[in-house]
Structure 1
Amino acid sequence: MLVDHHCHLDFPDFAPDLDGVVVRAKAAGVRTMVTISTRIRKFDRVLAVAERFDDVWCSVGTHPHNAHEELDIPTAEIVRLAQHPKVVAIGEAGLDYHYQHSTPGAQAEGFRNHIAAARETGLPLEIHSREADADMLAILKDEHSKGAFSAVLHCYTGGHDLALGAADLGIYVSFSGVISFKKTEALAELARALPLDRLLVETDAPYLAPVPYRGKTNEPAYVVHTAAALARIRGISEAEIAKATTDNFFRLYTKARRPAGVESAST
């Protein structure tokens, strides 16, 4: 089996055929999915999707694009919402200097609030980082000095220093369909350099569909192609990458339960 730990099933792209999306994922062997929150004030929409399907879980948090809109929501509220049985992660939160819809200061404040929630709940933090490697690593090191927390750098496209520095802190690194694109040798080199027990795969659906679906609407079933690309890059079998990334998921997302009938990650 495989896990898509980061998709956005509440987005309008999936509304016409959400049942079909989940059915196709399971048919492809993607037995577990996590649909990710981008705005706490719209968390009910994310939670409704998770409650609708047995093996779909969710997170609660505010995307850095929207950080300035939700700084008034205290860490205690994130922690409260995270008590729901279907919530297995905090975020996504982090830094995005490409668009800067929120100021760097607002993003950093919101990010630290989410780290505090992850630390208090023990749930992993889904980290969004784009064109902010130095500041991201500085915050991660500073916050880890205050107390450990678990996390994953999702849809990783940054440099080696951030990824390897985060891995040294025990943080996982996740690859999306970008790993299957041409002209991504630097990312491939990083995927080979990172410890296998720190890797995850995702879609970030509806975005970044892997080859051979590049340019189309992405969906959880397609994480199979991302995993296959990662296996080729590392020179191991698809079964090995599926087992490793699934084991890694359940080790990190301790609140998520394995699907019914699945006793081990190799099943």
Structure 2
Amino acid sequence: MIFETHAHYDDKMFDEDRESLLESMQEAGIGRIVNIGADLASTASSIALAEKYPFIYAAAGVHPSDAAQLNEHTFQWLSEQTAHEKVVAVGEIGLDYYWEKDPEVRANQRYWFRRQLNLAREKVLPVSIHSRDAAKDTLDIAKEEHLAEIGGVVHCFSYTVEMAREYLNMGMYLGIGGVLTYKNARVLKEVVDYAPMDRIVLETDSPYLTPVPNRGKRNSSLNLPYVVMAIAEIKGITTAEVEDITWENAMKLYRMAE
């Protein structure tokens, strides 16, 4: 069975067939899914999905691009959501400088990244970190806030082997998805080759980042076997080994007993 560690099935792109798609997952070999909060509304809808489906779990958090939603009142609400029995992480949180150039807005992202890291520390939950075009600031904050004491995953890892080494040394997991199958993914393939298998977890970021051969279409966890095959080829192991090891890794990442 495959453990999908990062998806967004509350996204409007699934509105027409969400129920039938999710009901097909178990039979297709997708054993567990963590649906990730990206803002206040999607945190609530992720929890609602987790309540409806036994194999779905939730993460509560606010993506850096939506950090403007956070204030002391909404942060208190977010904190309360982490107490839900099926919330297994704080995320996705972090920094995203790709679209945002305003120094004040970037500073606000950094502030709420720190606050959410410390929320995870307080609630004894791992984090799911989003970092795009913000490698240095993300790593600096990770070190300053002692990320190694919190634990978690760098979702959709997109940096170099050198940066991967920094996070692996903190005990973090690396989230690997459809990008690994792209022709221009040389650096990510180097990272997967370098990273120990016991630090790799599978993800899709559905509905985004669909792997080859379905690139350009809406993504879902049903495409994860393509990622499994790509990892197996790089590592020189079987697809069954990739599935088994990444399942165990995800269970440890999200601190699930069974």
The TM-score with structure 2 as length reference comes to 0.94
* Cα 1:212–1:23 shift into 2, 3 Å: farther
| C-alpha displacement of 1:44 | 2.2
User: Contact 1:64–1:111 at 8 Å: present in 2 too?
Assistant: yes
The structural deviation recorded for 1:79 is 3.1
Give the deviation of 1:225 after TM superposition.
1.3
Q: Which residue of 1 aligns with 2:34?
A: 34
Q: 1:41: Cα distance to partner?
A: 4.4
Percentage of pairs with the same residue: 33
Match status 1:184 vs 2:185: yes
Gaps in structure 2 of 5+ consecutive residues: none
Q: CA deviation at 1:100?
A: 1.6
Q: Distance in 1 between matches of 2:94 and 2:10?
A: 20
Q: Give secondary structure in 1 for the equivalent of 2:4.
A: strand
Runs of 4+ in 1 over 6 A off after TM superposition: none
- CA distance, structure 2, for counterparts of residue 101 and residue 38 of structure 1: 20
Report the residue type matching 1:4 in the other structure.
Answer: E
SS of 2:180's equivalent in the other structure is: helix
1:77 and 1:168 mapped to 2: Cα distance?
33
1:119 alignment counterpart:
121
CA RMSD for the aligned pairs? 1.7
Q: Residue 137 of structure 1 corresponds to which residue in structure 2?
A: 139
* Larger mean Cα displacement after TM superposition, 41-50 or 78-87: 41-50
- 1:110 deviates by 1.0
Shift of 1:151: 1.3
2: CA distance between counterparts of 1:210 and 1:27?
A: 21
User: What per-residue deviation string (whole Å, max 9, x for no partner) do you get for residues 6-58 of structure 1?
Assistant: 00011111121112221332222111001110112443222111111110011
Q: Which runs of 5+ in 1 are unaligned?
A: 259-267
For the 8 Å contact 1:95–1:130, the answer to whether it is kept is yes
Per-residue CA deviations over 1:76-108 (Å, capped at 9, x if unaligned) read 543321111111110101011101287211111
User: Does structure 2 conserve the Cα–Cα contact (< 8 Å) formed by 1:156 and 1:175?
Assistant: yes
Given that 2:159 and 2:187 are in contact with CA atoms closer than 8 Å, whether structure 1 keeps it comes out as no
The offset of 1:162, in angstroms, is: 2.2
Contact 1:63 1:94 (C-alpha < 8 Å) held by counterparts: yes
In the alignment, the residues of structure 1 paired with residue 101 and residue 73 of structure 2 have an alpha-carbon distance, to the nearest angstrom, of: 18
Give the match's secondary structure for 2:149: coil
Question: Secondary structure of 1:120's partner?
Answer: helix
Aligned residue pairs, count? 256
- 1: CA distance between counterparts of 2:167 and 2:108? 22
Q: TM-score, normalised by structure 1?
A: 0.91
Post-superposition offset of 1:74: 6.4
CA contact (8 A) 1:26 1:221 kept: no
- The alpha carbon displacement at 1:69 in A equals 2.1
Cα distance in 1, alignment partners of residues 17 and 120 from structure 2? 33
